[in-house]
Structure 1
Amino acid sequence: MTTSSRSRSFAILTLAAATACVLTACGSSSNGSHGAGPAAPAPSSAAPSAAPAPGPGSVPPAPGGSSGTAAAPSGGPTGAATAPATAPTPAPGAPGACATGQLSVKQQNADVAAGSYYAELVFTNTSATTCTLTGYPGVSYVTDNGVQSGNAADRAPGTAATVTLKPGGTASAQLHDANGVSGYDPAQCQLASAKGLRIYPPNQRDALFLPWPTQHCAGPTIHALTVAPVH
């Protein structure tokens, strides 16, 4: 082959290669723009939203998954003449509280005035051991079968102090009640008979019985019976 023939052949081959390269580039560009399927959505970087905080006045969920206000503790005063559950703790070497079995009780200095009845409940230490009384006794009327009649005594205003009772020593608490119907409406008073008083010494769970046949207002709305702290 002559030199000019080889030159023309090389030029033709170079042109064909260039044309093929152009076509290949165009095809690749076309496939990249339209031939691919839809791209997968990019994962969201946003964190899940938190539950809204309770606003003013809202109630947080109660334990167990339910919501609402907490229930008030059940139980409360029943009107029975019961003493506090625990007695004051004495200092080391000091006398302890008087137990019911160490005491006797009686009424003293009874008086009636202006529709009211007053008396002193006198506790006597009948034991051979010095002991103390602090605070209020619990008092209520009882019928002949020991059932409470009417409301127990309310506590009259006063300061609770500790009284030391040597053997034979005494402490008193003032008792007050309406004298019979007094100024109450008879239907409200509901006058009833009682055989006596059930008396719990301060901070004791066992009671003394004081015989005292009488009549008193036993209506559920009547709170005429009161007792003061021992002194």
Structure 2
Amino acid sequence: MPNGSRRAGAATAGAVVLLGALAACGAGGTTQTPPSPASAPASRSAAPGDTTASAGDRTPTASGRTERPASRCRTSELSASVGRVDPGAGQRNFPVVLTNVSSRGCTLYGYPGAAFVDAAGEQLGRDPRRAPGDSATVTLAPGDSAWAGLRYASPGVSGADTAVPAALLVTPPDEREPLKVPWKAGAVPVSGNASSVFLTVLEPGTGP
């Protein structure tokens, strides 16, 4: 081979060796590659005048104040009483009245609970049954009242077994603690035929 051809071949071989060494150095060295777009932080800085926030930066804002609705009346905020009897057609009817004695407004909805008890606190007869009716929320300002009708067949007409209660326990809707009202209206049916006692839904006022 001519000398010129040998020198050209040697130069080419040297260049290949040099490139291979550089490639090996890059693979095993400490040269860092730029972070990929996926590794970039999710949040961004707002540009001047940019009012758009990311989903994680949004804070709810109040659109305006509204008056807080009245919550239900608690037993401790009420007093109970039994109105005058309204006799008629073999029935005895009484308004059971709940009055708001607190300093705030509150609400009643549905039926109160009721039970006749003796002097020892033992219940007489079964729980009253609910007369059909449409319930509606009754809002009581301080001093306002709502009433439910308590009725039963007159024992002298129905022939039911009777007892004379010492008190009527009245429990406001959705409450557990009752209010105790002395009972002064005589005998009530506690067993036998036609001994059921009925309650109506609460409505505004103190009686019919």
Contact residue 141 and residue 150 of structure 1 kept, 8 A: yes
- In the alignment, structure 1 residue 107 sits paired with structure 2 residue 86: no
2:135 maps to what in 1? 160
- In the alignment, structure 1 residue 206 sits paired with structure 2 residue 177: yes
Question: Structure 1: which 4+ aligned runs deviate by more than 4 Å?
Answer: 220-223
2:201 maps to what in 1? 229
Query: Which secondary structure state, in structure 1, belongs to the residue aligned with residue 83 of structure 2?
Result: strand
Query: Which secondary structure state, in structure 2, belongs to the residue aligned with residue 110 of structure 1?
Result: coil
TM-score (norm 2): 0.62
Where in structure 2 are there 5+ consecutive unaligned residues?
Answer: 1-65, 204-208
Contact residue 104 and residue 208 of structure 1 kept, 8 A: yes
Question: Equivalent pairs: percent with the same residue?
Answer: 33
Further displaced range: 104-113 or 217-226: 217-226
TM-score (norm 1): 0.56
Q: Distance in 2 between matches of 1:198 and 1:220?
A: 22
Query: Map of 1:138-153 to 2, 5 A cutoff?
Result: 138-153=113-128
Query: Map of 1:118-129 to 2, 5 A cutoff?
Result: 118-129=93-104
2:24 maps to what in 1? none
Change (3 A) 1:222 1:142: farther
Aligned residues: 137
Q: Which amino acid aligns with 1:209?
A: K
Which structure has the greater CA radius of gyration? 1
Query: Cα distance, 1:113 vs. partner?
Result: 1.5
Contact residue 158 and residue 193 of structure 2 kept, 8 A: no
Query: Which secondary structure state, in structure 2, belongs to the residue aligned with residue 101 of structure 1?
Result: helix
Work out which of the residue numbers 146, 153, 165 in structure 2 matches 1:171.
Answer: 146
Further displaced range: 118-127 or 215-224: 215-224
2:168 maps to what in 1? 197
Q: Distance in 2 between matches of 1:226 and 1:120?
A: 12
Change (3 A) 1:222 1:206: farther
* 1:163-209 alpha-carbon deviations (Å, 9 max, x no partner): 0001101111111112224223xxxx222121121111111100001
Where in structure 1 are there 5+ consecutive unaligned residues?
Answer: 1-90
Q: Distance in 2 between matches of 1:220 and 1:102?
A: 37
Contact residue 162 and residue 191 of structure 2 kept, 8 A: yes
Query: Cα distance, 1:224 vs. partner?
Result: 2.2
Q: Which amino acid aligns with 1:230?
A: L
1:219 maps to what in 2? 191
* 1:146-171 alpha-carbon deviations (Å, 9 max, x no partner): 11000111000101110000110111
Query: Map of 1:1-231 to 2, 5 A cutoff?
Result: 93-184=68-159, 189-213=160-184, 214-219=186-191, 222-231=194-203
Q: Which amino acid aligns with 1:195?
A: A
Q: Distance in 2 between matches of 1:221 and 1:150?
A: 12
